[in-house]
Structures are given as C-alpha cells and as structure tokens.
C-alpha cells in the first residue's frame, strides 16, 4: 500500500470527454492500487461546463472558479493554484491535467507546476499550435492529422511531447469530421500518457508499481 498517493487534478472548460476518459481508465485499471494515484478533483472556469456533471456522476469532487470574477489573468491563476494546492499530498504535489481547459496560463502558474502540468492538443505538434487546428490542416493539404500530449511550458503548445496519435485525413473530411476522429484517439492516448508519467515518477522516487 502507498502511504501517500499522487493526486491528479483535471481542469476543464467544456464537455469533459477527455476528463471522463481519464477517470474511467483510472478506475478500470485501478490506478489507486497499481500506481498509487487517483483523480481527486475536476475544476472548471465555467459553471455551466457539461464536464462537471460527468465528473460528479463518476464520483469525483468538482469546483468552479469563474475566471470573469477575477480582475486579471494573474489573480485568477493565483486563485486556481491555491485551490489545486489544497489537494496536494505530503511530498506529492498534484499532477495538473488540462483537458479542454480554454485558458492560457500565466508564466508564474506554469513555473509553479513545472514538470507536473500536462496538456493535450489536437494536432501533431509542432505543427498547428494554437486554435482552428483541423481547418488549418485541411487548408494545408495535410494527409495526416492527430493529437499530442505534452508537458506545458511557458511557450504555447511547445513543451516536451509525451504521446501522439495519427489520423489519416480523408478526401471527404470537414474540420468537424476530422475533429471527431481525432478526439476519439485523444481518449486513448491521454490516459496512456498519464499512466506512463506516473510510472516514471514512481521510478524517480524509487518505488515499484503494484501489478
């Protein structure tokens, strides 16, 4: 048994399908027993985010920090960091997972959570950072698209790549149909990348995963 566990906090802004995929895999694969980790909370900057209902249905605590209630981005991020810190375990600060969290984080927040802040982006980074990735891939004539799980750094969508999926671009594709197929692969690679991160963290701490 683990005397402490690795807490995971997931940040969302919308429907939360990636969040639900992560929580479902964590429960099905017994991350708590095997990897000494559990999803402890889902936080959103939007009170009407559909993912909050999904999280509650999955038995996960939820909290809302509405960004419009804060004077600026720095104050919001400070408040967000304070909420996340409440879920920290002794010697194990939270792994923070961005799953459709539509906020650009300040350098201070990124620095505070460096090495334990993950994101998924709907393109094969380093191609098509930022928004409208699927439409841009179609306009560029790409034959393949995909998604990337990466560490978050101060520069947008530029941190170390942890996992990628590849999706062929079909002749009949629109941005919407391509997005749907890419999203289906996100649900597979994001939990896998997190599990690998947890195993690596255990190895660094001199622990052995429980099989």
Q: Give catalytic residue positions.
A: 121
Count CA within 13 A, CB hemisphere, residue 35.
23
Closest CA to 190 of 132, 131, 158, 148: 148
Return d(Cα 183, Cα 205) in angstroms, integer. 33
Check whether the bond before 126 is cis (ω within 30° of 0). yes
Going by DSSP bridges, is the β-strand pair 117-121/144-151 parallel, antiparallel, or unpaired?
A: antiparallel
How many whole angstroms separate alpha carbon 150 and alpha carbon 158? Answer: 8
Whole-number Å distance between alpha carbons of 211 and 200: 15
CA–CA dist 26, 22 (Å, integer): 6
N-terminal to C-terminal alpha carbon distance within the chain? 12
Would you state the structure tokens that stand for residue 156, as one six-digit string? 């947008």
For residues 157 and 131, what is the distance between their CA atoms, to the nearest angstrom? 10
């Amino acid at each position: 048994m683990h005397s402490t566990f690795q807490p995971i906090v997931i940040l969302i802004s919308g429907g939360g399908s990636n969040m639900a995929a992560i929580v479902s895999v964590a429960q099905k694969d017994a991350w708590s027993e095997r990897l000494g980790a559990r999803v402890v909370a889902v936080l959103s900057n939007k009170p009407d985010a559909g993912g909050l209902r999904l999280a509650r249905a999955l038995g996960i605590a939820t909290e809302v920090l509405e960004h419009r209630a804060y004077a600026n981005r720095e104050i919001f991020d400070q408040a967000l960091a304070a909420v996340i810190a409440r879920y920290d375990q002794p010697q194990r600060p939270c792994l923070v997972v961005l799953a459709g969290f539509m906020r650009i984080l300040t350098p201070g927040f990124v620095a505070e959570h460096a090495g334990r802040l993950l994101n998924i982006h709907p393109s094969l980074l380093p191609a098509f950072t930022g928004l409208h990735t699927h439409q841009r891939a179609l306009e560029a004539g790409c034959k393949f698209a995909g998604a990337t799980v990466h560490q978050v750094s101060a520069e947008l969508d530029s941190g170390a790549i942890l996992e990628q999926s590849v999706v062929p671009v079909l002749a009949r594709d629109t941005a919407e149909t391509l997005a749907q197929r890419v999203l289906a692969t996100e649900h597979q690679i994001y939990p896998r990348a997190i599990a690998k991160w947890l195993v690596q963290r255990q190895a660094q701490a001199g622990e052995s995963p429980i099989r």
